[in-house]
Structure 1
Amino acid sequence: MSTFLFPLFTNLSGRAVVVVGGGEVAWRKVQLLAKSQAVITVVSPELTPSLQQWVEQGKITWQARPYLSQDLAEVWLVIAASDDIALNARIAYDAEQRRIFANVVDDAELSSCQVPAIVDRAPITVAISSAGAAPMVARRIRARIESSLDHSLGALTELLQRYRSAIKLAFPQLKARRCFYDWLLDGPVANAIQAQQFTLAATLLESALQTPPAAPTGEVILVGAGPGDPGLLTQHALRALNQADVILVDRLVDPAILELARRDALQISVGKQVGEDHHATQRRIHQLMVEHAQQGQTVVRLKGGDAFIFGRGGEELEFLQAHNIPYKVIPGITAALACAAYSGIPLTHREYAQSVQLVTAHRKDDSPIENWEALRDPTQTVVVYMGLQQILQFITRLQAAGRSADTHCALIENGSRPEQRTLLSRLDTLAHHAKQYHFASPSLLIIGAVCKLAPELHWFGEQINTIDQAAPTFADTELAMLS
């Protein structure tokens, strides 16, 4: 039968605690105890350099000798962190005789108390214990909770603590007070705290105490989903997906990412398809964001890559601002960074490239690229975001503008996904080999000398190296056949 441990948070501020042991385990326990402002004494003939430094700084007291039973006189807690099993057992026995709680590291049977896995959002603390049965399970649970609780929660809690009496006075009825706290935790006050705008948060709270807020206000969160690999999502992105009421999803967002979202969220596909009116699609996206936010819902606008790198994120924020809709932006890893990293291609390198330029042909009103001169520099890496057919047309124009035909380049299909392929070629042969190996969208092109490093540094997915193959001759009409 498993042991039930009574959960208890102890106030050790100003109270004596003894840690027996001077190694790395003891150092970890001392760091944790220091957050509680306990008066810490370490008993050990020797110390790690980190513990020694804290002794010199006066943060802890050191008894430079072996443990003695009288070390437990007048203490509230002892932690046995030595690597001597017999010594740890003796410390546990001495603590039991004195009715002092003892934690013996990695020995649940000898311990009268456990140090749980902790999620620290002070003054909010979440503690997870497996009663010593399976610490790895507790750590896994901790990791999941850690990713779900924003780090601003502590600052928000401190703000609510300062206004607790005023809130109780303004809302004497429990039901109304609960509704107000829901508004505080989910509305503009919490948003201001997350944005590090503490004065604004206090102002909004004080205003709401004078004039209680109306119906809940929705918001839009622009979330960069990255290039495809769900492991590249940020913690902020995961939190947003789990609090969303509505998710507006781009076409290229990997389905595995949506598996991480809140199960009952309404998912609406708003991806732009080749050949359709992109302006009409964008207008629909704007309307959906405003419509659902005005209903008090949390709307996640989920974009492939990063919203501010060829993602129309700026246009969408302008529209939201014009309609007084609160918003936040959570960056994502853009395709240039991910595709390069997963293909072993550094975008900058002291020997090969001192700068990088990101380029797309998807410009407003389909206006062409004008400054080809800037793209000719052989010491600069150029990353091209376009459909595959446009990429191959871009190559032809770039060569016509003066970029050398034998410039190394890499075409990366489905970057960061399990089916990623990387085609290494030159400007003058890339179109031929892209057709030969049936490359398709989504693909991203990297141009520059840094691609020379790919054969050596490549580590993910399939690589096709055609650098040393002779340049073919083919009709220009072959370009039109590529898609």
Structure 2
Amino acid sequence: MDYLPLFMNLKNRSVLVVGGGNTAARKVKFLHRAGALIQIVAHKLGNELQALLNIKTIKWIAHNFDPIQLDNVFLVIAATDNHDCNKQIFEAANSRYKFVNVVDDQKKCNFIFPSIVDRSPFLVAISSSGTAPVLARLLREKIESLLPANFGQVAEIAGQWRETVKKTYRKISERRHFWEDVFNGLFTGQIINRKFNDANSTLKYELAKHRKNQGQITLVGAGPGDSGLLTLRGLQVMQLADVVLYDYLVSDEVLELIRRDAERICVGKRAGEHSISQNRINKLLVKLAQEGKRVVRLKNGDPFIFGRGGEELQAAQIAGIPFQVVPGITSGIGVTAYAGIPLTHREFAHSVLFITGQCCANRQEIHWPSLTTSFYQTIVIYMGTLKAREIKTALITYGRDPITPVAVISCGTRQNQQVLIGTLKQLDILVATAPKPSILIIGEVVKLHKRLAWF
């Protein structure tokens, strides 16, 4: 992050603008809307600034810049066409620790102006950190089209109720839950449609209920890694969470989408390493929900495909905790799609089977003959890297052709995705050189990788 986004209160603060042309006038308009006390230094004023001077909106204090003019100002803007003058202004202001912006010269700015969507008091600021202002403007236009012109009245009317809500709900988390429910309910639509009396009645009704927050648990499938594969519902739930329990395999991209002030707790497991037990995870989920928190259990892929999601919901059900599930794209589907390997194909595979390699320590746990009877079946193996040799031996022993194509896909759907192709008899060798995490694909459909790889 090259810049820290900030919103400044400029009401009744002195601001110096050096320049009298159209560029200076555009900046002055923004500053005036923010309530700043604007001082101008310029040889002459253009029509727009002259009009503002006539109604005493601005003060024209000098024709030439002098560093002494910086002493009592909060912020400085240089909008002249004189390079040397702009440089002098920047150096003088910067050495005095003033906020300074030289228009169209990013290197001579210690702050920049974002593109703004103004639905006062609701504001949205968008910036490309000075690299692509046109792109920022296009994004602003899209957001403008999504927010009704009177959207600011939603914040305005809600602000009138803040103190009343504080008296009713003492805890910050309780107030946040209240407002989330209100904004996602009738209230917002009533204001947009200018039914202000109805909106106030809705708030009175919601406050009269004054119910104690009830905790809940939501299982969310994070998908295989690419944040673009997270579902819209998953994102919505993550933005409402008080606390998120996540696994090691959940990508940093997805973790970045969690509500900023939500508590994050890593409860991941890694094969062969000491990690928190499933029983402790279950107890922690229940404990947090019983404290009235909205708990999100964020799992890689889909929580019901080898994710122990069912076990965690059983614990919630026994404890009487409300719960819901947001499905995710399981790795076996998402990762293979990004590798250009269709799991079924009329010529190569009529069925697909998902299994977990953690059941492979004892051959009796999987009925291996059933995995080798059909030439036209794709086998997808999760968590199979540690048992790759045993898997290979069992499949060949029970009749699978040693030269059956296999793929080992590592870090699927992520920028460092790697796909290794070979045959069943080479499976353990391929796995030994593959980064983790990896998923194993066995079947004739692997042949299509070279032709269909796209990512």
TM-score band, normalised by shorter chain: 0.5 to 0.7
- Render the CA deviation track for 1:196-218: whole Å, top value 9, x for unaligned: xxxxxxxxxxxx99x95652101
- Render the CA deviation track for 1:443-474: whole Å, top value 9, x for unaligned: 101111111111111122xxxxxxxxxxxxxx
Q: Aligned partners of 2:363, 2:320: CA distance in 1, in Å?
A: 31
Q: CA deviation at 1:136?
A: 2.6
- Render the CA deviation track for 1:297-324: whole Å, top value 9, x for unaligned: 1111010111010001111111101111
Pairing 1:321–2:339 present: no
Alignment match, 1:282: 278
Alignment match, 1:398: 395
Pairing 1:137–2:132 present: no
Structure 1 regions of 5+ residues with no counterpart?
A: 5-116, 118-125, 147-172, 192-207, 461-483
- Render the CA deviation track for 1:313-344: whole Å, top value 9, x for unaligned: 11111110111111111111111111111110
Alignment match, 1:425: 422
Q: CA deviation at 1:240?
A: 1.6
Q: CA deviation at 1:373?
A: 2.4
Q: Aligned partners of 1:364, 1:286: CA distance in 2, in Å?
A: 25
Label 1:441 to 1:330 Cα distance change in 2 as closer, same or farther (>3 A). Answer: same
Q: Aligned partners of 2:423, 2:278: CA distance in 1, in Å?
A: 36
Q: How does 1:80-479 map to 2 (within 5 A)?
A: 136-138=138-140, 140-141=142-143, 175=165, 212=209, 214-276=211-273, 281-363=277-359, 368-376=364-372, 377-435=374-432, 438-460=433-455
SS of the residue 2:393 aligns to: helix
Q: CA deviation at 1:127?
A: 13
- Render the CA deviation track for 1:265-315: whole Å, top value 9, x for unaligned: 11111011323577x611111111111111111111010111010001111
- Render the CA deviation track for 1:393-422: whole Å, top value 9, x for unaligned: 212111111111111111101111111111
Q: CA deviation at 1:142?
A: 6.7
Q: Aligned partners of 2:284, 2:142: CA distance in 1, in Å?
A: 37
Alignment match, 1:467: none
Q: Aligned partners of 1:378, 1:420: CA distance in 2, in Å?
A: 28
Contact in 1 for aligned 2:408/2:430 (Cα 8 Å): no
Label 1:285 to 1:134 Cα distance change in 2 as closer, same or farther (>3 A). Answer: closer
Letter in 1 for 2:270: Q
SS of the residue 1:221 aligns to: strand
Label 1:403 to 1:264 Cα distance change in 2 as closer, same or farther (>3 A). Answer: same
Q: CA deviation at 1:185?
A: 7.0
Label 1:381 to 1:264 Cα distance change in 2 as closer, same or farther (>3 A). Answer: same
Q: How does 1:22-37 map to 2 (within 5 A)?
A: none
TM norm structure 1: 0.54
Q: How does 1:64-83 map to 2 (within 5 A)?
A: none
TM norm structure 2: 0.57
Q: CA deviation at 1:141?
A: 3.0
Aligned length: 298
SS of the residue 1:451 aligns to: helix
Label 1:357 to 1:394 Cα distance change in 2 as closer, same or farther (>3 A). Answer: same
Structure 2 regions of 5+ residues with no counterpart?
A: 1-24, 31-116, 127-134, 149-162, 186-204
Alignment match, 1:81: none
Alignment match, 2:112: none
Q: CA deviation at 1:430?
A: 2.5
Q: Aligned partners of 2:383, 2:146: CA distance in 1, in Å?
A: 37
Contact in 2 for aligned 1:388/1:440 (Cα 8 Å): no
Structure 1 stretches of 4+ moved >4 Å? 1-4, 126-130, 142-146, 173-187, 211-214, 363-368
Alignment match, 1:74: none
Label 1:224 to 1:396 Cα distance change in 2 as closer, same or farther (>3 A). Answer: same
**RMSD after superposition:** 4.1
SS of the residue 2:355 aligns to: strand
Alignment match, 1:468: none
Q: CA deviation at 1:178?
A: 7.4
Label 1:445 to 1:140 Cα distance change in 2 as closer, same or farther (>3 A). Answer: farther
Q: Aligned partners of 1:145, 1:325: CA distance in 2, in Å?
A: 36
SS of the residue 1:262 aligns to: coil
